[in-house]
Amino acid sequence: MAQTTRTWRLGIDVGGTNTDAVIIDGDLNLVAATKSPTTEDVMGGIKAAMHEVVTQIGPEDAENIGFAMLGTTHCTNAIVERKRLNKVVALRIGAPATTAISCMADWPEELKSAMGVRDFIVHGGNEFDGREISELGEDEIRDVARTVREEGFESIAVTSVFSPVSDAHEKRAGAILREELGDEFPITLSSEIGSLGFLERENASILNAALHDVAQTTALSFEAALAAEGLHDVAVYLGQNDGTLMSVEYAKRYPIFTIACGPTNSIRGASFLTKEKDAVVVDIGGTTTDVGVLAHGFPRESMVAVEIGDVRTNFRMPDLVSVGLGGGSIVRKRDDGRVTVGPDSVGYKVTEEALCFGGSTLTATDIVVAKGLAAGVGDPALVADLDADLVDAAYKEIMRIIEDAVDAMKTSAGDVTVILVGGGSILAPSTLEGADPVLRPENFGVANAIGSAIAQVSGQIAKVFSLSETPRDQAISQSKERACAEAIEAGADPETVEVIDVEDIPMAYLGDALCIRVKAVGDLNL
């Protein structure tokens, strides 16, 4: 673990176009920043960005770095590309009640094939009120463990029906599997991943199990890259998709929580740079624009099921709208006279391909340079001859795309605070319909990496209680304790952990049931 005197932080965030890196000193001041093209293997761009910021501060100041934070797309890419996934056993606890619908019935075949997945259904599980459906099939579980050993499966996802109400069968199944396979064997319990919604929770758990080796390889590669830069004895954290961090060991258990951490890093960075706690954050990159909501200082979570790699899941995800607009978006005039912007883009090659940089492709960046709205970007003389009507029409289209995305995230008709971040935010005007004020903070271009560097550590719990068995106050108290314990396990300083959000939702269709969701956060354990 890093020494307490080494309080500087290296923050890196991987985007679709660029990989951003920053170094923050012990007083949370930005001392170095850079952008590097995201490479196909991802790690190449990370190493290049890291090398650049470490070079900027020099070897003497580099000795002050005690923490390194990485927001990465490794896990997302593995699912989308169907590569590097573990060979998974999906163990469902729910016979005979859950046999009508097969496991992964709606999954893409190529994804199932990439995971070499095999599913089993054993007896057990609970009703909505916590009553056992049947006795847990412990001998059946031991038979599954033998299959895992004999056929070389690499991880297991355990899903019991209504485990958010009672996780006893999942925990017992996990204990049996560890007796048979060893304490180090990767086992995912669905009650630790998702909430109500059996199939979606099962799907999320299977994906989490498939990502174990990806997370481990990512962490080891990042640590090796740090060592290659002379950064030894540095505490490493990975970004979570709620805008907080988790330790490497925690990330190996819950790699699925890294998915969509990039936009949430930008939202947290936007809050840090502006000191705003409630706003709509517009993060414009080279290819896409992500719009999210800053609520009480943290990204607003989605309340609906989310598809990942064409698989429907229900674990926590940020509430986002993504549109095909970025600095490299290609501008075209159609035969019918319409002017379009994107969704295709030249991406990180904008500094080579855009007209204002001497290239041959008309991009969104060229439009704002031609309008005189991007001082210091490219050469205005190279776009001075663009047709004025074309420039005006393209700029109006850029504004429409951004304003529509902001409107999609608003919950009321009034004006909202909008924060513009990301290197492509030069595209956005200083005024937007439905927004007041519009803020573009200093260092907006690397807000995502700043968000990674300054992030706190969190723990969340979502559980269903029967009020006839557990009074409401006691249920909330238990949930708070569990959320705080999760934050500490993820790497938070126990002295700083506090509960920031408590939500209790009556579930009338389950009788006297109450679903309680609690989030706790704390500072890094220095």
Mean pLDDT within 423-440? 88
d(CA 524, CA 457): 6
Query: What confidence score (pLDDT) does residue 3 get?
Result: 42
Q: Which of 39-53, 409-423, 501-515 has the lowest mean pLDDT?
A: 501-515
Phi, psi of 330 (to 5 degrees): -85, 130
Phi, psi of 489 (to 5 degrees): -65, -30
- 486 against 508, higher pLDDT: 486
pTM of the model: 0.83
Q: Report the chain's mean pLDDT, rounded to a whole number.
A: 88
Mean pLDDT within 76-93? 89
Query: What confidence score (pLDDT) does residue 46 get?
Result: 92
Query: What confidence score (pLDDT) does residue 2 get?
Result: 41
CA 421 vs CA 222, 257, 282, 289, 394: distances in Å: 26, 23, 6, 10, 21
- 91 against 77, higher pLDDT: 91
- Evaluate if residue 189 carries a pLDDT over 70: yes
3-state secondary structure 284-330: ECCCCEEEEEEECCEECECCCCEEECCEEECCCCECEEEECCCCCEE
Q: Which of 75-84, 275-284, 359-368 has the lowest mean pLDDT?
A: 75-84
- 6 against 511, higher pLDDT: 6
Distance of CA 403 to the CA centre of its chain: 24
pLDDT in tens, 35-77: 988 888 888 999 999 999 999 999 888 899 999 999 887 888 8
Strand, helix or coil for residue 65: strand
d(CA 390, CA 381): 17
pLDDT in tens, 299-333: 888 877 778 878 888 777 888 888 889 899 999 98
d(CA 340, CA 327): 14
Structure-token pair, residue 253: 């258990």
Phi, psi of 498 (to 5 degrees): -145, 150
Query: What confidence score (pLDDT) does residue 509 get?
Result: 60
DSSP tag of 345 = E
Mean pLDDT within 5-24? 88
- Evaluate if residue 526 carries a pLDDT over 70: no
pLDDT in tens, 357-369: 999 999 999 999 9
- 207 neighbors 79 (Cβ within 8 angstroms): yes
Q: What whole-number percentage of the chain has pLDDT above 90?
A: 44
Sheet strands (E) in 168-270: 187-189, 235-239, 245-247
| Confidence band for 436, pLDDT divided at 50, 70 and 90 | confident
CA 150 vs CA 137, 146, 154, 211, 449: distances in Å: 20, 6, 11, 21, 44
Query: What confidence score (pLDDT) does residue 510 get?
Result: 63
Mean pLDDT within 113-129? 89
pLDDT in tens, 289-299: 999 999 888 88
3-state secondary structure 258-275: HCCHHHHHHHHHHHHHHC
| Confidence band for 4, pLDDT divided at 50, 70 and 90 | very low
Cα(first)–Cα(last) distance of the chain, in Å? 8
Angle, alpha carbons 182-314-261 (nearest 5°): 80
CA 258 vs CA 142, 244, 395, 502, 517: distances in Å: 32, 10, 35, 23, 20
- 281 against 197, higher pLDDT: 281
| Confidence band for 280, pLDDT divided at 50, 70 and 90 | very high
Query: What confidence score (pLDDT) does residue 40 get?
Result: 80
Work out the number of other CB atoms within 10 angstroms of the CB of residue 142. 13
Q: Which amino acid is it at 36?
A: S
